[in-house]
Structure 1
Amino acid sequence: MELGMVGLGRMGANMAERLVRSGHRVVGFDPGAPAREQAAGRGIEAASSLAELVERLPSPRAVWLMVPAGEIVDRTLADLLPLLSPGDAVIDGGNSFYKDTMRRAAMLAEHRIECLDCGTSGGVWGLVEGYSLMVGGDAVVVERLRPIFAALAPAPDRGWGRVGPSGAGHFTKMVHNGIEYGMMQAYAEGFAIMQRKDDFALDLPQVAEIWRHGSVVRSWLLDLSADALRKNPALDGIAPYVQDSGEGRWTVAEAIDLNVSAPVITLSLLERLRSREDDSFADKLLAAMRNEFGGHGIKKSG
């Protein structure tokens, strides 16, 4: 199958390469020339413009957007729309707010352009491990593009699926990220308690490694925590400043709108905000975990 990939940053390029490795043809575009050059070295056909990308794809086209959420998505769609034809499909694989996605899908439908939203999880490990994909949109279109999702997922029959109509994919990913906030906070606080217990002088990398096998708290996030602690047991040089990319805030706001009590997710978001005013081992571990699973930058201390 053939696909256009708009946005060849780390995750977009990794997704495109995984598709190429699976036998799919990918034409990619990024406004940055270095990103296009690097993509070309990974088997991705680099286009110099959106117009060239669209021209090189057969109809009905499928164009995957892997660009930051917000205004840039609207700008990209505005540039793409005159180039597309009825029956073409646009897939937003970024972390767009689901209500924005619903608005965009309605706009594209007026031009008979299909719109799918794909909540994408897997971070920098997705190239090798595969991506968890939560797809929203028309079931017929999802089925037509099944080979794309099956190739990106950990396996053709697991780790992905259509979860509902337009907006449902991004809504599900939003909640997924809210849960992620809470899980990460619990690990960080637990290890901070152990780190503070001077009487026992606990070997935190050892404890993390023990928990990874057979315990009820084992998970991929624990695997990443163990790896981060093994590399840097005292988390030296990591500032206790934890970023948030927006999905946790959206999840908390949605919980309030729906009258759903979500204290763990809410407090984990507030703790991230507090981290920017304080210093703690827990916050350093949170920052290290984000870097391990998503390649998010670490703010250096000192």
Structure 2
Amino acid sequence: MQLGMIGLGRMGGNMAKRIAAAGHEVVGYDRSPESDRTVASLKELVAALKAPRLVWVMVPAGEATDSTINELAELLQPGDMIIDGGNSRYTDDARHAAELEPKGIHFMDCGVSGGVWGIDRGYALMVGGSQGDFESARPIFEALKPEGDSGLVLAGPVGGGHFAKMVHNGIEYGMMQAFGEGFATMVKSDLVEDPAAVMSSWRDGSVVQSWLLDLLAIAFKSDPTLKSMPPVANESGEAKWMIEAALELGVPTPATAAALYARQTSRGGADDILRVVSTMRAQFGGHVTKIDEIATH
């Protein structure tokens, strides 16, 4: 098949290489002239593809995705298809599909997981769209997915792919937070001499074995204490969206919410909150916390 790939960053660039390695022709475009792009504009990309065209958008969610799809809408023809493989919010997908439908342009959304390792391991793909569109693009999905029977699913209609990826990332938040809390608890204990060795031992035979734990074990080899890593973790939005969606659906998500708040706290967002708490404790009980006392604990 032919595929137009828009966005050749850490994810899109590796995905394009994996697709090409499977024997498909990839026409790549990125705004950066220093990328591995094969064309210098969206217009050139569309011109280089044979109808019906298949274009995969792999750019940051929000304005970048909106503007790219809007520009493609003016360049593509009826029967062509756009796949949004970025981390767009699922509510954006219905809007994109509705705007493209009068032009006869098909639309699918695809949540992609695999990170920088996906080029070799394959990517987990969660697709939203019609069965017919899914089947027409299946060769590309098969090229991207891991070997074997898993790693690819038609999650539901348009929006279903990004909704599933949103939930996937919320679960990821909770899992990483749990591993972090377990490590921190062992570090504080006098009964565990090497927390890194303990957690690495869980990679085999344990019910908590996972690829996330495998990656953590790799990091432990070069830094068993993880002191070289800053104690700050950003959040990209998916867990927040999941919590909002869960609230609307009446589903409690305390683990995901706690993991999200922990990340926000790590970025200093809670400093003013804690100053207020410390001030009130000092007022009603004379509890004064000094900075040098914190440093010794």
Question: In terms of mean alpha carbon deviation, does 125-134 or 223-232 score higher?
Answer: 223-232
4+ residue stretches of structure 1 with deviation over 3 A?
Answer: none
Partner of 1:17: 17
Partner of 2:75: 83
Q: Deviations over 1:190-212 (max 9, x none)?
A: 00101111x23521231122100
Instruction: Tell me if 1:137 matches 2:126.
Output: no
Larger radius of gyration: 2
Instruction: Tell me if 1:231 matches 2:222.
Output: yes
- 1:58 and 1:255 map into 2 onto residues whose CA distance is 42
Q: Deviations over 1:100-132 (max 9, x none)?
A: 111111111111100000000001110000000
- 1:10 and 1:276 map into 2 onto residues whose CA distance is 24
Task: Select which of 176, 179, 185 maps to 1:184.
Answer: 176
- 1:229 and 1:258 map into 2 onto residues whose CA distance is 40
TM-score normalised to structure 1 length: 0.87
> Residues 150 and 156 of structure 1 are in contact (CA less than 8 Å); yes or no, is this contact kept in structure 2?
no
> Residues 183 and 195 of structure 2 are in contact (CA less than 8 Å); yes or no, is this contact kept in structure 1?
yes
> Residues 3 and 26 of structure 1 are in contact (CA less than 8 Å); yes or no, is this contact kept in structure 2?
yes
Partner of 1:205: 196
Aligned-partner SS, 2:103: coil
Identity of aligned residues (%): 52
- 2:220 and 2:180 map into 1 onto residues whose CA distance is 11
Larger relative contact order (CA 8 Å, sep ≥ 6): 1
Aligned in 2, Cα 1:130/1:137: closer, same or farther, shift over 3 Å?
same
- 2:131 and 2:171 map into 1 onto residues whose CA distance is 27
Aligned in 2, Cα 1:71/1:278: closer, same or farther, shift over 3 Å?
closer
Partner of 1:220: 211
Aligned-partner SS, 2:27: strand
> Residues 6 and 55 of structure 2 are in contact (CA less than 8 Å); yes or no, is this contact kept in structure 1?
yes
> Residues 240 and 278 of structure 1 are in contact (CA less than 8 Å); yes or no, is this contact kept in structure 2?
no
- 1:161 and 1:278 map into 2 onto residues whose CA distance is 37
Instruction: Tell me if 1:147 matches 2:139.
Output: yes
- 2:142 and 2:168 map into 1 onto residues whose CA distance is 20
Code of the aligned partner of 1:225: L
Partner of 2:105: 113
Code of the aligned partner of 1:78: N
Partner of 1:8: 8
TM-score normalised to structure 2 length: 0.88
**Structure 1: 5+ residue runs without aligned partners?**
41-45, 280-302
- 1:149 and 1:24 map into 2 onto residues whose CA distance is 11
- 2:171 and 2:103 map into 1 onto residues whose CA distance is 36
Partner of 1:97: 89
Aligned in 2, Cα 1:222/1:6: closer, same or farther, shift over 3 Å?
same
> Residues 204 and 229 of structure 1 are in contact (CA less than 8 Å); yes or no, is this contact kept in structure 2?
no
Aligned-partner SS, 2:83: strand
- 2:225 and 2:14 map into 1 onto residues whose CA distance is 31
**Structure 2: 5+ residue runs without aligned partners?**
271-297
Partner of 1:275: 266
Tell me how large the CA RMSD over aligned residues is.
1.4
Aligned-partner SS, 2:260: helix
